[in-house]
């Protein structure tokens, strides 16, 4: 199997470009279900140690049955199969164009990629054979529940907002927890995020109104205030997203930004069409704006556009020897805070 190493603003989203011809399923969501339920050994082999890492994801490129899409892909993280990921989609678009899987057209190439959560348009700025930036039209994003009171062991009563941006998030201002949003606080942020996520899922059922198979809060975002950059006159904010088995997204987190944009519009902190910079605690950035609105079930959703950049870092051949006792990998608890 050939894997192209890739990251988007620090978040690793490797791309499996050959070795898997196709898997059963008419849609990318059905293909995801097949891999998750029938062939999860692929995820374990690629993402568990010794081949993978808790901080890696792998995107499986597959044919699409949708006439409006160029390709389908399934996102495999170290602990789950998300329906959508902005950083992983940027990685996929960059690999598809820079390796010649699809023709690159300068100055801009438009791709339509079928993620398990739905179709995503990627507008890629290209020059001299490189993808300089990727702007994604994200999935419709909405606020499911405002100001939900949750009892969190060790933290007490915490009020959270539950929002969808491709997966469900619990969003909490870091200040109410007394946590500083800085890289030095990463472990403190992670431990609070795990506790909040577990408590939310025990006390509240997050279910997508149009696809009830998308359910449960997967990640937690601790947020900073919205400020205005004095030099550029553009709004900006900082956040930290706790994902997987308890680590921080190295990028600002694409689906997390989409979910938060829906919340910020509902709060009146931003307006439709205005650009905003989202920063991670590691200094990486995505820019975002709300391009439009639409209805999702009973919810008024926004359609965010999120821009960032991905880089190819390597190309490797992966071998899985059936005689290897770690053919499907392992996830030791010294760094894997919960089982993968």
Task: Read off φ and ψ for residue 242, nearest 5 degrees.
Answer: -90, 120
Give the residue ranges of DSSP H helices in 4-156.
28-38, 41-47, 86-98
Centre a 10 Å sphere on the Cβ of residue 181 and count the other Cβ atoms it contains.
21
Give the largest CA-CA distance in the chain.
Answer: 61
Give the side-chain half-sphere CA count within 13 A for 202.
Answer: 10
> What gap in Å lies between CA 118 and CA 106, rounded to an integer?
26
Question: In sequence order, what are the residues at sequence separation of 6 or more whose Cβ sits closer than 8 angstroms to the Cβ of residue 198?
Answer: none
Rg (CA), the chain: 19
CA angle 171, 176, 191 (to 5 degrees): 65
Residue 158 pairs in a beta bridge with 150
Peptide bond into 107 cis (omega under 30): yes
Nearest-CA neighbor of 43 among 85, 83, 76? 76
Q: Contacts by 199-207 with C-beta closer than 8 Å and gap 24+?
A: 199/150, 199/151, 199/152, 199/153, 199/158, 200/148, 200/150, 200/160, 200/162, 200/170, 203/150, 203/151, 204/145, 204/148, 204/150, 204/162, 206/144, 206/145, 206/162, 206/164, 206/168
- State the first-to-last Cα distance of the chain, in angstroms, to the nearest integer: 22
In the annotation, is 185 catalytic?
no
Distance of CA 53 to the CA centre of its chain: 17
| Three-class SS state of 178 | coil
Active-site residue, selected from the candidate residues 85, 141, 239, 280:
85
Catalytic residues: 85
């Amino acid at each position: 199997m050939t894997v192209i190493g890739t990251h988007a603003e620090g978040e690793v989203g490797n791309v499996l470009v050959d070795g898997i011809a196709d898997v059963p399923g008419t849609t990318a969501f059905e293909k995801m279900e097949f891999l998750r339920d029938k062939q999860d050994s692929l995820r374990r082999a690629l993402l568990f140690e010794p081949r993978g890492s808790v901080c890696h994801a792998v995107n499986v490129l597959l044919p699409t049955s949708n006439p409006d899409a160029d390709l389908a892909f399934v996102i495999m993280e170290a602990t789950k199969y998300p329906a959508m990921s902005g950083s992983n989609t940027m990685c996929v678009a960059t690999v598809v164009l820079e390796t010649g899987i699809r023709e690159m057209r300068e100055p801009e190439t438009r791709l339509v990629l079928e993620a398990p959560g739905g179709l995503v348009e990627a507008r890629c700025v290209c020059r001299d054979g490189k993808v300089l930036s990727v702007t994604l039209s994200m999935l419709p994003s909405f606020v499911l529940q405002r100001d939900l009171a949750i009892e969190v062991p060790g933290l007490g009563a915490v009020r959270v907002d539950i929002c969808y941006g491709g997966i469900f998030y619990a969003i909490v201002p870091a200040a109410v927890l007394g946590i500083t949003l800085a890289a030095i606080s990463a472990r403190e942020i992670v431990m609070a995020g795990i506790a909040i996520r577990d408590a939310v899922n025990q006390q509240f059922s997050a279910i997508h109104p149009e696809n009830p198979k998308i359910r449960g809060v997967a990640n937690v975002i601790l947020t900073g205030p919205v400020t205005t950059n004095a030099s550029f006159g553009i709004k900006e904010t900082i956040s930290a997203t706790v994902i997987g088995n308890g680590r921080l997204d190295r990028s600002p987190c694409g689906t997390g930004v989409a979910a938060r944009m829906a919340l910020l519009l509902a709060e009146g902190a931003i307006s439709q069409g205005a650009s905003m910079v989202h920063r991670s605690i590691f200094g990486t950035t995505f820019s975002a704006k709300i391009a439009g609105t639409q209805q999702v079930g009973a919810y008024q959703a926004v359609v965010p556009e999120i821009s960032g950049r991905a880089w190819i870092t390597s190309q490797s051949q992966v071998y899985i020897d059936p005689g290897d006792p770690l053919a499907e990998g392992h996830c030791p608890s010294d760094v894997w805070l919960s089982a993968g």
